[in-house]
């Protein structure tokens, strides 16, 4: 019995030992890695003191130099991949088409058109067709500036001959005989009056069909003639329903427009009067507009980091052009005849050139105040009621339908009540803090004699920018 107990104890000890050996085998790789790490650290501590002082100094200098080079090295703009084609949309613009001609010239110089698709409406279709058909934009601009603009200024009929100018430009510079290049690459948009929808054409049967489609896209009545029948339906300018056509929703479209107030990828970097699209400015201003489009097109290519854009040198001819305007009003209007008329009126009223703009700002604020008074009057139902009653009674007076003294008394009472309520509305608007600040801002601009925000408080500058179109553009131009 004692021997049996002793044997059981020995068996338990052996089993316990075997169990400990199994645990040791499972953790052996971790111990080996730890031992190797300790060995590497120990060897590093042993080797570092053996390095000479000069060697350690050279290693330190080299590491600092590498870090400084990595920090100082400028980051290159990411270059666009040339595999996927770009998609451009050119909007309508009337006479502002010369701006888009300048943009197209810049795109061609950077060879962007070689791997791109285009869609355009109205003046935009002229630009993209000329770009793909390899037309000479300098010659087109020369024809516009030296032939079409003087003809438009020659008589009152000149601005309404744009269809003649359009056909002449296409036949002279369009290279329409090479229209096979357009298939699948250019889409022209026009509006169907018969169906009241937009039509998109990407394939053209012959040069005549191409010409008719482009005229349909540019048919802005009445400047470019009246609607006509094309493809069995009446057509009109494509910008009527879609002035900035886009490709499919899943395709990123690069938008181009001559409208300075639009949100587009390429638009004028300087103020361009929007009404130039309907009546052209001087020849010098049209040439400036062409140069501005060229510079903005190059700026976009450089900003987007297109291949080869790092070597682009952007000229500053258009950026430094001042137009020799004498007043902000003339620059905002965009026509020197209007500026001369304003200067003549100012001379008659003994006003200086600097005070003209301030007086226009005051006139704008007065008009806005009149609008505010009218709104305040309409907000009061009693005033609205009295105005309606007075209007009805005055109509009866004009029709001769009043015969009693009571009628006159009722009319007089309501008229007095209406005048009292209007006076209350004027007093209410005049006491508003907003208009008090605006009045102080106008007085400050008149005191300093020019539009300068440095002489105004931030609140005055903010309100003038909101309410005065002349001040807003004047601050931008100055």
Average pLDDT score over residue span 46-54: 49
Q: Which of 59-73, 133-147, 431-445, 460-474 ranks highest by mean pLDDT? A: 133-147
Q: Which runs of E-coded beta strand occur in 31-185?
A: 86-90, 116-121
Q: Which two tokens stand for residue 295?
A: 């510079």
Q: Are 183 and 189 in contact (CB under 8 A)?
A: no
Give a yes or no: residue 408 inside a domain: yes
Residue 41, pLDDT > 50, answer: no
pLDDT score recorded for residue 44: 45
Same domain? 12 vs 139:
no
Give a yes or no: residue 328 inside a domain: no
- Label residue 390 exposed, middle or buried (CB < 10 Å: 0-12, 13-18, 19+): buried
Judge whether 113 counts as a catalytic residue. no
Average pLDDT score over residue span 449-457: 57
Give a yes or no: residue 333 inside a domain: no
Same domain? 62 vs 113:
no
- Label residue 197 exposed, middle or buried (CB < 10 Å: 0-12, 13-18, 19+): exposed
**Which is catalytic among the residues 89, 91, 122, 277?**
122
CA dist list (Å): 51 to 57, 61, 213, 223, 432: 10, 15, 83, 87, 82
d(CA 102, CA 257): 12
Higher pLDDT: 6 or 378? It is 378
Q: Are 386 and 412 in contact (CB under 8 A)?
A: no
Of the listed ranges 33-37, 274-278, 367-371, the least confidently predicted one is 33-37
Residue where a domain terminates, one of 38, 70, 102: 70
* Domain residue limits at 382: 349-477
Same domain? 128 vs 271:
yes
d(CA 174, CA 232): 25
Same domain? 224 vs 267:
yes
Tell me how crowded residue 201 is: count the other CB atoms within 10 A of its CB: 20
Residue pLDDT, tens place only, 168-223:
999 999 888 889 999 989 999 999 999 999 999 999 999 999 999 999 999 999 99
Same domain? 283 vs 417:
no
Name the helix (H) or strand (E) containing 45.
helix 28-47
Which one, of 93, 128, 136, lies nearest residue 112 by Cα?
128
Tell me the backbone φ, ψ of residue 439, rounded to 5 degrees: -65, -40
Same domain? 154 vs 262:
yes
Q: Are 268 and 299 in contact (CB under 8 A)?
A: no
Average pLDDT score over residue span 295-302: 94
pLDDT score recorded for residue 48: 47
Higher pLDDT: 280 or 465? It is 280
Residue pLDDT, tens place only, 302-341:
999 888 888 889 998 888 887 777 777 778 888 888 888 8
d(CA 323, CA 284): 8
Please report, to the nearest 10 degrees, the dihedral formed by the alpha carbons of residues 281, 282, 286, 287 taken in order. Answer: -170
Residue 441, pLDDT > 70, answer: no
Give a yes or no: residue 280 inside a domain: yes
Higher pLDDT: 63 or 435? It is 435
Give a yes or no: residue 257 inside a domain: yes
Same domain? 38 vs 123:
no
The SS3 assignment for 314 reads: coil
Residue where a domain terminates, one of 290, 311, 332: 311
pLDDT score recorded for residue 51: 46
Give a yes or no: residue 23 inside a domain: yes
d(CA 166, CA 214): 9
- Label residue 353 exposed, middle or buried (CB < 10 Å: 0-12, 13-18, 19+): middle
Q: Which of 18-27, 43-52, 89-98, 388-397 ranks highest by mean pLDDT? A: 89-98
Taking the complete model, does pTM exceed 0.75, yes or no? no
Same domain? 46 vs 93:
no
**Which is catalytic among the residues 237, 242, 285, 291?**
237
Give a yes or no: residue 326 inside a domain: no
Number of domains making up the chain: 3
Same domain? 124 vs 166:
yes
Give the whole-number percent of the chain exceeding pLDDT 70.
59
d(CA 138, CA 102): 9
Same domain? 91 vs 199:
yes
The SS3 assignment for 406 reads: helix
Which one, of 390, 100, 47, 332, lies nearest residue 218 by Cα?
100
Same domain? 56 vs 100:
no
Q: Are 136 and 173 in contact (CB under 8 A)?
A: yes
Same domain? 276 vs 382:
no
> Helix 353-379 crosses helix 458-467 at what angle (to 10 degrees)?
80
Give a yes or no: residue 330 inside a domain: no
Judge whether 237 counts as a catalytic residue. yes
């Amino acid at each position: 019995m004692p021997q049996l107990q002793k044997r059981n104890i020995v068996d338990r000890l052996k089993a316990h030992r075997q169990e400990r050996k199994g645990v040791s085998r499972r953790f052996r790789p971790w111990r080996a890695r730890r031992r190797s790490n300790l060995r590497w650290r120990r060897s590093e501590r042993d080797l570092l003191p053996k390095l000479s002082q000069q060697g350690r100094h050279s290693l330190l200098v080299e590491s600092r130099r590498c870090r400084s080079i990595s920090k100082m090295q400028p980051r290159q703009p990411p270059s666009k991949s040339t595999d996927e084609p770009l998609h451009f949309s050119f909007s309508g613009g009337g006479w502002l088409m010369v701006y888009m001609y300048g943009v197209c010239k810049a795109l061609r110089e950077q060879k962007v058109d070689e791997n791109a698709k285009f869609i355009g409406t109205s003046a935009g279709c002229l630009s993209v067709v000329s770009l793909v058909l390899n037309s000479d934009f300098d010659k087109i601009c020369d024809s516009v500036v030296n032939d079409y603009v003087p003809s438009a200024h020659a008589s009152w009929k000149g601005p309404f001959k744009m269809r003649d100018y359009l056909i002449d430009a296409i036949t002279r510079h369009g290279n329409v005989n090479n229209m096979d290049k357009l298939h699948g690459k250019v889409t022209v948009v026009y509006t169907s009056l018969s169906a009241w929808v937009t039509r998109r054409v990407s394939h053209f049967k012959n040069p005549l069909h191409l010409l008719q489609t482009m005229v349909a896209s540019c048919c802005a009545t009445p400047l470019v003639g009246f609607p006509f029948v094309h493809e069995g339906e009446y057509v009109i300018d494509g910008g009527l329903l879609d002035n900035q056509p886009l490709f499919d929703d899943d395709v990123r479209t690069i938008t181009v427009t001559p409208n300075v107030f639009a949100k587009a990828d390429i638009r004028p970097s300087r103020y361009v009067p929007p009404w130039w699209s309907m009546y052209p400015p001087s020849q010098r201003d049209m040439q400036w507009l062409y140069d501005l489009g060229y510079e903005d097109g190059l700026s976009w290519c450089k900003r987007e980091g297109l291949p080869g854009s790092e070597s682009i040198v952007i000229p500053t001819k258009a950026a430094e052009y001042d137009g020799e305007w004498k007043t902000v009003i003339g620059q905002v209007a965009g026509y020197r005849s209007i500026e001369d008329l304003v200067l003549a009126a100012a001379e008659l009223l003994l006003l200086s050139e600097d005070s003209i703009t301030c007086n226009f700002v005051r006139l704008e604020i007065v008009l806005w105040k009149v609008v505010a008074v009218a709104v305040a009057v309409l907000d009061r139902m009693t005033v609205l009621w009295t105005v309606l009653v007075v209007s009805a009674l005055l109509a009866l007076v004009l029709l001769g339908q009043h015969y009693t003294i009571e009628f006159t008394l009722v009319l007089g009472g309501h008229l007095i009540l209406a005048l009292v309520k209007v006076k209350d509305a004027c007093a209410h608007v005049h006491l508003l803090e907003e208009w008090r600040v605006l009045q102080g801002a106008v007085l400050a601009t008149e005191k300093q004699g020019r539009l300068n925000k440095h002489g105004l408080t931030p609140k005055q500058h903010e309100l003038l920018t909101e309410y005065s179109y002349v001040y807003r553009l004047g601050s931008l131009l100055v």
